[in-house]
Structure formats: C-alpha cells, structure tokens
Amino acid sequence: MVTNFLIYGLVNSAILMLSAIGFSLTFGLSGVANFAHGAMYLTAGFIAWMLINYLGLSPLVAMLLTVVLMGILGALIYRIILMPVRGIVLSEVISTFALGVALIEFFRWKGFTSFDFSLPPFVKGSIEIFGVTIDYQRLIIIGIALIIALFLWYFTHYTNTGLALRGMAQDEYTALSIGIESDWAAMLSLGLGAALASVAAVAILPLGIISINLGYEIFLIALAVSVLGGLESTLGLFVGSLILGYAMVIASTYLGPQWGQVVYLGAIVIVLAIKPSGLFGKYKELEERV
Amino acid sequence: MRTNLSHRKERIDRGIKVRSDDIFVLASMRDLLYVILPKAIVILAMLILPLLKDVVGMYWLNVLVTTLVVILLALSWDLLASAGLVSLGQAFFFGVGSYIAGYLSFKFGWSPLFTIPTATLVGSIICALFLYPVLRLRGIYFGLITFALPLLLARLIEATKVLGGTEGMSALPPIPGMTGKLYLLMFVVLLTLFGFRRLISSNYGLVFQGIRDNDRAVIAAGYNIQWYKTQAVFIAALPATFAGAFVAHHFQFVGVPAFAMDYSILPLTAVVVGGAGTFIGGALGAVILMPLSEILREFGSLRVVIYSLLLLLFSIGLPEGLFKYVKRKYSQIERLTTMEEVKHD
Amino acid sequence: MIEPIIKISNLCKSFGGTKATNDVSFELKPGEALGIIGPNGSGKSTLINLISGFVKPDKGQILFKGINITGMAPHKIVNLGIARSFQMSRPFYNMSVFKNLIIPISSPRARKLRGGKYGDLDEAAIHLLEEVGFERDSQVPYKEAGALPHGYLKRLELARCLALEPDIVILDELFSGMSMSEIASVVPLLERIKKEGKTLIMVEHRLTELFKIIDKIIVLNFGMKIAEGLPRDVMTQDEVTSAYLGSEVKTGA
C-alpha cells in the first residue's frame, strides 16, 4: 500500500512536471505566460495521431516529427501572433488565450472526441517493483522528466544560448545592449516551450485517450506547478511537481477522484494569495510587489 | 542633403465637430442632431426593444437579456482595467452573485426583490475580500487568480456537494413580467455605464487611472493603493454580481455553470472588440457579438472558434477597438497633405 | 540646540550578496539641505528608497520628528511629511499635465493640511505648475503628459512632490537630463523652498549646481558613507577624489 502510494505519487509528479516544463521555460525565458500551452499539448497529441494513422509512420518517427513540427509552430506563433503585441502583457495573454481556445474548440468541432484517439506506448508491458505492478510507459515518463529537467538546468546555467535567454528575461535593456536580440530569444523560447509540450504529450498521452478537455487541464496544471515552484525556477518546478503530485494522489485516494482538480486549482489561488513568488522564485519578487 | 515631396495622411476634426464642441450655443438643428443623435439612437432603441415582444419574439428578447448581462460584465471588466487590474475571470463575480441570490431564495424563500440587492452588495464585498491578498501585486497575477478562482469554486462545489452540488438549486422564484424585467436590466446598464464614465473622470477616478499608469507615483503621493484597488474591485463587482443574481432568477436556476468560462470569455471579447477604456466600447462589442453568437449557435463549438479568432484578430489588428475607430470616423476626416521631407545623406 | 528632523542610524540593506547600503548614519536639522553624491551603483538610490519606505532595511533605524518610521509602508511615510521624486520620471501618461497634479493635490495629506476641503483643485494645480516654471497661458499644462519633453517631466515630478507640502523633500537626480537654462530656472525655486524651512535631500551628479543649494554633503561608495561635511572640504579629501576617479578605495576597516 505504502510502496504503491510512493510509486504512483512519483509517476504523477513526473507527469505534472513534464506537463509544466514547457510553460515554465517559456515564462522564465521570455516572460510570456503562454495560455495556449495546453492547446499545444493537445495539438501535438493529434498531430502524432494523424501522422501514425493517416501517413502510416512508425510511432517513434511520428513522435519525433511531431516534436520538431510543434517547435516550428511555437516559433511561428511568436512571429505572427505575439510579435505585434510584445510587451503589452494584457494583449499577450489575450492573444495566446484566444489562440488556445480556438485550437481546442476546433478539434472539438471537427469531432476529435472518441475512444479511437490514443497514442501507442513506446514499449508495451509492465514490470513489478517492490510488489507494485507498473507499466514501462510510466517508468519512461519518470526517466524523460528527469532527463529534461537536467538538460534544462544545464542549458540555462552552462550554455551560452541559455545564459543569453536568462539574461534577457532578467533585464531586457541590458541584454539588448550587449547584443542579445530580444525577438530571437523570445521566438526560441516559444519554440522550445511548444516542443517540450509535445514531448510531454507523446510521452503521457499513451496512458489514456486524447480527450479534448486536456487542452484546458494541462494549462491549469502547468500554471499550478509553475506558480507553486516559483515562475522561473527549475528547482521550484521539481519540488512543486513533487508536492502537487503527491497531494493530488492523496486527495483523490482519500477524498474522491474529483478532489484532484481542487488540489491544483486551490494551489494556484492559495500560493498567489500568500506567497506569490512561489517556493523558489527570486527575481520577480521585488519588482512585482508594490 | 536633398528634399523630396511625399504625401501623408492627416486627420482633422470635422467642421461640425468643432462647432458643436467649442461653441456652447448650438447654431442649427443639424449641429444639435450631430451631438445628440448617437446617444439618442441608443437610448431610444433600449426603450423600444422591450415593447416589441410580439414582433421579435420571446427568443430574441432572451438574447437581449444575455446581451445586457454581458454588457454589465464588460463594464465591470473595463472599470477594473482602468485601475490596472486585468481580469480573466468575470465569471467569478457573476457566479458569486448568482449563488448568493440563489441560496437566499432557495434556502430561506426570499423574494427576488430582496435577494438581488443583497447578493449585489454582499457579493461585491465577498469578491473584494477574496481578491484583497493579490491586490498588492502588479502584473499578470490578478489575471491568473481571477482565471483560477471561478474554476476552483465550481470544482469545490461539485466535490463538496454544498450549495446544491452538481445538481444546483432550481425552481427559484422568477422576476415577473418580461417587459418590466428588461427595463430594470436596461436601467441598471445605463446607470452603470454613465456612472462609471463619470466616476473614472472624477478626481477619485483619477487615482485609479494613476495606479494603472504609474503605481509608484501614486504611493509617493501618500495613497494606500491596495486599499484603493480594493475599492475598485468592490465597485466593479457591483454590476457583475447584480448580473449574476438577475440571471439566477431569470433562469430560475443556479448551478455550477454560473462559474463557466463563457462568462469570462464573452465580456472580455466584447471589450476587446469594442475597445477598452471607454466603457461604451464594451457595450458596443456585446451588442455586435451576442446576436452574432446566437446566429452561429447551430454550428456548435465552431461558434467558440470564431469567437476566439475574433478576439485574436482584434487584439492584434485593431487594439484600440471598434468604438474609438468609429468615433474617429464620426468626428474627424482624413486627407492627404504634402510634406517636404529633408533627408540627410 | 535644535532637534534633528530626521535621524538615520546604522542603516543596512543587502540585495542577494551585495551590500547596497552598509551602516549609513546621518542626521539633518529642519531647513538644512543635504546633497548625496557618489559614483554609479554606490547605493544612493537605495538609501532614498530606504528613507521613503519603498525598500525595507535589514538593520538600522530611521527617526522622523522623533517617530520611528523604519519599515513603515511608503504611503504612511509620505503622509507624515516626507515626499520624494523618482529618477525615472514617468508621468500618468493618459492624463493632461495639470490632471497629473490632481492626484497629489487631493491626496490624504494635502487634504488634511487644507482642513479636509477639496477647494478648486484645477486652479491649485495650474498655480503649482506655474511655480515650477510652466507657462499658464501656453498649451502645455493642458496637453497629455505622455507628450511632454524630458525637462518638463522633471519639473512635473518636482511639482508632484511640492503638492504634498512636505517637511522633507527628497529629489532623486532632479537635474539629470535638464538643460543648463532649465536647471538655472529651477535652482532659485529650490532655494526658496529651503528658505520656507523645508528640509532638502538631493541625490545629484551635477555638482556645480548642487553646491549652490546644499549646506552639507555625504559621499557614498560601495554602500558605505566615506565622507561627510561641508561641500568644499569634502571634495578635497583623498578618498572622495579616488572614488570619483575610479581607483580602489581603502576604507581602513
């Protein structure tokens, strides 16, 4: 029972982290709160599904292709939709929000709502660990989440591009003056964010069916994890997903499945009300409090 | 150095606009019409429409109710935005108003005559209290919390099964008489519209605008801006909670849909399409969008797609909104002027 | 013996690892004018932010007229009588210039001083604008503040402070970005403010003009007070000249 709880809580945490990572990265690097994050996730799922079922590509190829395509789409979204309103927070939010709803409801209208829509797992089968049966896909999710977190931490702390992007987010003017181009950086961060959303989609969606409302849910989950951990901190992302992951498992086990949603929505509201910079947010704290 | 002639557009006020603006005695009937016609048409339309029950039919009168409700939510949004608070969840205010009115009437059997004023007032206080903690922050935090709150409350009600749970509370007493009901709603819309326009240009309202433009300078003038923002939230919540309470009795039902995202997206779209900061813009947007939305109803969720695309289009393409655009066309003409351009090589 | 109007003792503030203000103390008597100078990044703005309450100190104490205002909310400090200007003067963009002044003029403090009356605020605003060098009969006071040139913005910023009728006026780089003639027109005004008995604290880089106004000067470097005294005396000290010339400072600590 306890091991069961520990392992499934960990899986849930990894799922949360993977879902949030793209959103958190985009916000941390360019300051854009991408309200279309959930829609990106959903779109990635359907693109992968179409590549497999219409073009007959092998699942692995289709999934890789999806990640690349979504990365390009994310960059295009910045070029076409965000660039004209860059810097006006309200317009950024409204534009991405509107785009997200448009995409999600487009899929609903086109009738992408049945049990046929699911992605194949990377590896079928399951394994028993400490008396708990767990399928390979869930283990893979934990692995991918860890690898991406490490990669991101390395990328933003030790590579020139990553440091440039972080500089951009912290002080746009100074960054501009030392030759970092803001539009290029923001485009890259949107592209990376979308690509990471699709990595999450192709890894997590095989666990169930691709349901339209995931478009809204994933965004809220990403928001909850990022807000709890602190909107621009990799460590916060890690700790935030662990706390929320286990809290959701506890709530749905002891109180009932409908409480899972209450946990992450409640987390958003409570954290924003009490400690808006989250557990590990630093830079923004001074600026945004008046 | 060389000079070359080029053309550019220049905007100048129409003669009639200048005449009717600066001279306080109107010179002719035409001037008078120019000034009052736009306002008169709106007010006349509002007075006549409720009487046309037999011509337009009950269905369209209901659409009118929804339109007016969205206008109230849009006005509320615009007042918040005037104080620099960008709401992404008007459904929060709407739902709080709805649930208070519904509960008072369902549990204690109060008549709408009492539930609606109580829900408006108490609901607004509750909203202000709920949002008070985030009012010390600037940036997108207010937007994020207003976005999450209605969703959270809806899930909480479903999970805890309080206040009727998923079933909601039904068979509430209606407000009798369609015509009277519409007049009441229109009266509140006009009161809010003109009241808010007056408020924001008063010395008190200037403080709100100051907070939006440069909050530090307002603090440096000795204002407690968290307290002022709380007042802004309270005032802005009034029309929205009223709308919620009204709709509760109009549909004779309160349930989780009162917190639905529709009530957040519709007013937001109305304001963005009509133009923020003018109050009338939001009303104009709602008047255009709501009937359009009814026409598109048979297309199912394509309706929402079209909606969001409009939101996207206006937010990027015409950020000033329709109202300012139309107003400019009404009071100014454009003409080409030649200008000498000096180029330094 | 006149009691000091403001007494600052051992003020400290760090951001992350950097000590922006390190053990700074000084006091001022009513009607005195203090200049704070120092190289960029020496902690001048932080010191002002600490006094005006926009930043909370880690350690130390600020007494204003005997009241402990350390860590008090900024709007409360203003209402006690300390007004400040900002280095980056951002007006309320969408309002006309004189409307910009309505906000400080109708502020709680200004209202209290006038005995709770609002009075004709527009007239009061225009009058104040005239005092800082706007021309009443020109179009300027009625224009949108967003369209003002920089020199006018600075003067508007000064007017916003004066509207509060404060006991202490803190000016953060008022002269920067002003032309010589604009500065020349403001200096007599500042001298008059001083004569009225108000205490001035000025952060400045334009030393020649500053020295015309102030009685006393403090030099900051790396957050520490490295010199204090009469302007002429202080400027000849070795530590001060070396701080300004950029060589390393031996603080002797």
pLDDT tens digits for range C232-245: 888 777 777 777 65
Chain B neighbors of A33, CB-CB under 8 A? 140, 144
Residues of B in contact with A288 (CB under 8 A): 137-139, 141
Structure ipTM: 0.86
In this complex, do B221 and C74 lie within 8 Å of one another by their Cβ atoms? no
Q: What is residue A158's predicted lDDT score, i.e. its pLDDT? A: 82
Per-residue pLDDT averaged across B79-93, rounded? 93
Percent share of chain B, pLDDT over 90: 45
Tell me the pLDDT tens digit for each residue of A143-177: 999 999 888 888 877 887 777 777 666 666 666 66
**Alpha-carbon gap, residue C221 to B205, rounded angstroms:** 43
Structure confidence at residue A119 (pLDDT): 85
Query: In chain B, which residues have their Cβ closer than 8 Å to the Cβ of C114?
Result: none
- B90, B271, B315: which to substitute to probe chain A, counting the most A Cβ within 10 Å? B315
| Mean residue pLDDT across chain C | 85
Domain extents in chain C:
6-245
The answer to whether residue A213 scores a pLDDT higher than 70 is yes
Q: B299: distance to nearest CA of chain A, Å? A: 8
C167, pLDDT greater than 50: yes
Strand, coil or helix: A135: strand
Q: How many angstroms separate the CA atoms of A272 and A281, rounded?
A: 12
Per-residue pLDDT, B132: 92
> Does position A289 have pLDDT exceeding 80, yes or no?
no
Looking at residues C88-102, what average pLDDT do you find?
Answer: 86
Shortest CA distance from A287: residue in chain B: B138
Answer whether residue A42 shows pLDDT above 70. Answer: yes
Predicted confidence at residue A281, as pLDDT, reads 66
Residues C54, B209: C-beta atoms closer than 8 Å: no
pLDDT band at B129 (very low <50, low <70, confident <90, very high): very high
Position of tokens 């339109």? B67
Query: Across the interface, do C108 and B220 touch by the CB < 8 Å criterion?
Result: no
The three-state secondary structure class of A238 is helix
Beta-carbon separation of B156 and A262 below 8 A: yes
Size of the B and C interface in Cβ pairs below 8 Å: 73
- How much of chain C exceeds pLDDT 90, in percent? 24
Three-state DSSP state, A121: coil
- Residue of chain A whose alpha carbon sits nearest to that of B152: A265
Residue C45 has pLDDT above 60, yes or no: yes
pLDDT of residue C246: 56
State pLDDT tens for residues A242-279: 999 999 999 988 888 888 889 989 998 898 888 877 77
- Strands B2-13, B332-343: parallel, antiparallel or unpaired by DSSP? antiparallel
In terms of Cβ atoms closer than 10 Å to its own Cβ (0-12, 13-18, 19+), residue B264 is buried
CB contact under 8 A, C78 and B224: no
- What structural domains does chain B harbor? 63-323 (1.10.3470)
**B15 compared with B75, residue with greater pLDDT:** B75
What pLDDT, on the 0 to 100 scale, is given for residue C248?
47
Interchain pair A276, B302: CB under 8 A: no
Test B301 with A109 for CB contact under 8 angstroms. yes
State residue B118's pLDDT score. Answer: 96
Sorted by sequence, the CB contacts under 8 Å of residue B100 that are 6+ apart come out as: B115, B118, B119, B122, B123, B126, B241, B245
pLDDT reported for residue A283: 46
Instruction: List subunits contacting chain B, requiring 3 or more Cβ pairs under 8 Å.
Output: A, C
Pick from C92, C106, C156 the residue to mutate for testing the B interface (most B CBs within 10 Å).
Answer: C92
The burial of C189, by beta-carbon neighbours within 10 Å (0-12 exposed, 13-18 middle, 19 or more buried), is given as middle
Query: If DSSP states are collapsed to H, E and C, what string results for B150-212?
Result: HHHHHHHHHHHCCCCCCCCEECCCCCCCHHHHHHHHHHHHHHHHHHHHHHHHCHHHHHHHHHH
Of A84, A109, A276, the CB nearest to B134: A276
pLDDT in tens, A80-99: 999 888 877 788 888 999 99
C-alpha to C-alpha distance for A214 and A221, rounded to whole angstroms: 10
* Least confident segment among A198-202, A250-254, C249-253: C249-253
- Quote the CA–CA distance of A56 and A62 in Å, as a whole number: 9
Tell me the chain C residues in contact with residue B218 when contact means C-beta distances shorter than 8 Å: 103
Contact B221 C118 (CB under 8 A): no
Q: Which of residues 220-249 of C touch B (CB under 8 A)?
A: none
Helix (H, G, I), strand (E, B) or coil at A64: helix
Closest C-alpha among C76, C99, C77, C83 to residue C163? C83
Question: What is the C-alpha to C-alpha distance for residues A286 and B154, in angstroms, rounded to an integer?
Answer: 33
Q: Answer whether residue A212 shows pLDDT above 60.
A: yes
Place of tokens 């009058």: C127
* pLDDT score of B210 more than 90: yes
CA pair distance B153, B138, nearest whole angstrom: 24
Specify the pLDDT at position B341: 60
- Between helix B141-160 and helix A214-229 the angle, nearest 10°, is 120
Fold of C6-245: Rossmann fold (3.40.50)
- Mean pLDDT, range B317-336, rounded to an integer: 83
Residue C214: which region, alpha, beta or left (left: phi > 0; alpha: psi -120 to 50)? beta
Q: Count of A–B CB contacts within 8 Å? A: 123
- Chain A partners (3+ C-beta pairs within 8 A): B
Instruction: Return all residues near A91 (Cβ < 8 A) that are at least 6 apart.
Output: A85, B315, B316, B319
Mean pLDDT, rounded, of chain B: 86
Residue A207 has pLDDT above 60, yes or no: yes
- Position B344 scores a pLDDT of 57
| Confidence (pLDDT) at A174 | 62
| Residue range B169-195: mean pLDDT, rounded | 89
- What residues of chain B lie within 8 A of the CB of A88, using their CB? 319
Instruction: Give the pLDDT band (50/70/90) at residue B196.
Output: very high
Tell me the C-alpha distance between B307 and B46, whole Å. Answer: 25
CB contact under 8 A, B144 and A227: yes
Share of chain A above pLDDT 90, in %: 34
| Alpha-carbon span A78 to A86, nearest angstrom | 9
List the single residue in C106, C121, C160 with the smallest CB-CB distance to B217.
C160
Give the distance from residue B205's alpha carbon to the nearest chain C alpha carbon, in angstroms: 10
Task: Please give the pLDDT value at position C253.
Answer: 35
Pairing of strands A126-129, C33-37: unpaired
Has residue B236 got a pLDDT over 80? yes
